[in-house]
Amino acid sequence: MPVTTPRATAGAAASDSHVHDAVARSFAERLRRTRSRMEELDVDVLLLSQGGDLPWLTGYTAMPLERLTVLVVRPGDQPVLLVPALEEPRVTRRGELFDVRPWSDVEDPLDLVSDLVGRRCSGRVGLSDQAWCKTLLGLQARIGAARFVAASLVTAPLRAVKDELEAEMLTRVAHAADDVARAIQASEVRFVGRTERAVADEIAERLLAAGHDRVDFTIVGSGPNAASPHHESGARVIGPDETVVCDFGGRMTVPGTDVGYCSDITRTVVTGRCSREVAECYAVLQEAQEAAVRSASSGVPAEDVDRAARSVIEDAGLGGAFIHRTGHGIGIETHEEPYIVSGNTAPLVAGNAFSVEPGIYLPGRFGMRLEDIVLATPTGPRRLNEAPHELVCVEA
């Protein structure tokens, strides 16, 4: 469950009016680009509901409720945001960009959507990838001739290229996460004798104190649990001379909007003494991550970045211990395009932001991972995270 705080954000304070104004200007450009791509792909209507597309285009995030919230975008018409009446007070109205149509509990929102789309529509209708299944089925029953496609066909390539403001927000939130990573590496967080869950809770508190508005996840995997990449922090008591993988992130909200940009960082520490095997494995891991970051230039296929990390680990005889992709895009959502994985031949472009996070996992023994967010720029890759990359032995 995400941890939230009503406290004003330190890194993106409301006094940063230039950020607010830049976001407001960006929405019109995003809508223009969206309409252009709809025309290019012959998509007649776009229906944006749950997920990152709606806040990216409007500055409003729908609550994950059974009550339907959806933005209806049609060529030539003002977009309409259908929102439950009880949620209307949460909407920041942007009349120059979209109209707001609240609906009451005695109305059927799917009928309202169908009327806006046109019940005789036989064209392509893009629906949010994360929309409820009942939304799709209900619309199919009402607009039987329409051909439904994933909205990400339109929006994903647009969202994957961050503008200057988005790059600034990702940098801010990355630096806030760096503050927590440095505190861990400086032994300000005690590990030995505490449960993974207790350490994870402290990391969450530190993320909020560092300027995050919300904590999305905290993974603390110790000893053999460190070999499980998505380990759920639990009741295991952390012991001495163990590797501990700390993977955590949250988001920082842009002033005046519901748009939050995400952090995601991983650092591995050793509680006390480091064995030769762990040190040698970590040297391979650090070399692999550095090779991948160096390779992540505009024009390079995404899979080549994955290959750069993987080849280092394979050459060390540990290829079977690297069991996941090298990275994922990040922005409004923690995981979005582009994905840094074998088979993704799409070239990176300036503005792509993504994680580079190779790992080495030896089941039943130990694991390690090293993760930074990287921004592809016209002059080469830029790390957004700056916390030290060396293997740190924290006080036992």
* Total Cβ atoms within 10 A of residue 76: 5
Element (H, E) at 382: strand 380-383
Q: Are strands 353-356 and 336-340 parallel, antiparallel or unpaired?
A: unpaired
pLDDT of residue 187: 96
Over range 338-353, report the average pLDDT. 98
CB within 8 A of 186, min separation 6: which ones?
none
Is the preceding peptide bond at 338 cis, omega within 30 degrees of 0? yes
| pLDDT confidence tier of residue 14, bands split at 50, 70 and 90 | very low
DSSP labels for 247-279?
Answer: EEEEEEEPTTSS-EEE--EEEEEEES---HHHH
Total length of the chain: 396
> In angstroms, rounded to a whole number, what is the distance separating the alpha carbons of residues 19 and 25?
10
> In angstroms, rounded to a whole number, what is the distance separating the alpha carbons of residues 74 and 378?
34
Over range 262-281, report the average pLDDT. 97
- CATH class held by domain 42-158: alpha beta
For the chain, give the mean pLDDT. Answer: 93
User: pLDDT per residue over 26-69, tens digit each?
Assistant: 888 999 999 999 999 999 999 999 999 999 999 999 988 899 99
> In angstroms, rounded to a whole number, what is the distance separating the alpha carbons of residues 321 and 282?
12
The runs of H, that is alpha helices, within 296-377 are 302-315
pLDDT of residue 2: 42
Tokens of 12: 């993106």
pLDDT of residue 25: 80
Q: Say what angle helices 164-185 and 17-41 make with each other, to 10 degrees.
A: 120
Share of residues in the chain with pLDDT > 90 (%) = 86
> In angstroms, rounded to a whole number, what is the distance separating the alpha carbons of residues 261 and 174?
9
* Most confident range, picked from 18-32, 91-105, 278-292: 278-292
User: pLDDT per residue over 67-91, tens digit each?
Assistant: 999 999 998 899 999 999 999 999 8
Tokens of 30: 């995003």
Tokens of 190: 């005690």
Among candidates 134, 151, 150, 125, which has minimal Cα distance to 65?
134
Torsion over CA of 378, 382, 384 and 386, rounded to 10 degrees? -160
pLDDT of residue 1: 35
pLDDT of residue 20: 62
* Total Cβ atoms within 10 A of residue 186: 12
Q: Are strands 243-253 and 214-222 parallel, antiparallel or unpaired?
A: antiparallel
> SS in 3 state form for 187-232?
CCCCCCCCEHHHHHHHHHHHHHHCCCCEEEEEEEEEHHHHHCCCCC
Phi, psi of 78 (to 5 degrees): -65, 130
Judged by phi (left if over 0) then psi (alpha if -120 to 50, else beta), residue 209 lies in alpha
How far is the first Cα of the chain from the last one, in angstroms, to the nearest whole number? 30
Q: 107-112, long-range: CB within 8 Å, 24+ apart, which pairs?
A: 109/67, 109/68, 109/70, 109/82, 109/84, 110/68, 110/135, 110/138, 110/139, 110/142, 111/142, 112/82
Among candidates 213, 203, 282, which has minimal Cα distance to 248?
203
User: pLDDT per residue over 88-142, tens digit each?
Assistant: 999 888 878 899 999 999 999 999 999 999 989 999 999 999 999 999 999 999 9
- CATH class held by domain 161-394: alpha beta
Tokens of 165: 């403001």
Helix/strand number for the chain, H first, E second: 9, 19
CB 244 within 8 A of CB 222: yes
* Total Cβ atoms within 10 A of residue 88: 14
Q: Where are the domains of the chain?
A: 42-158, 161-394
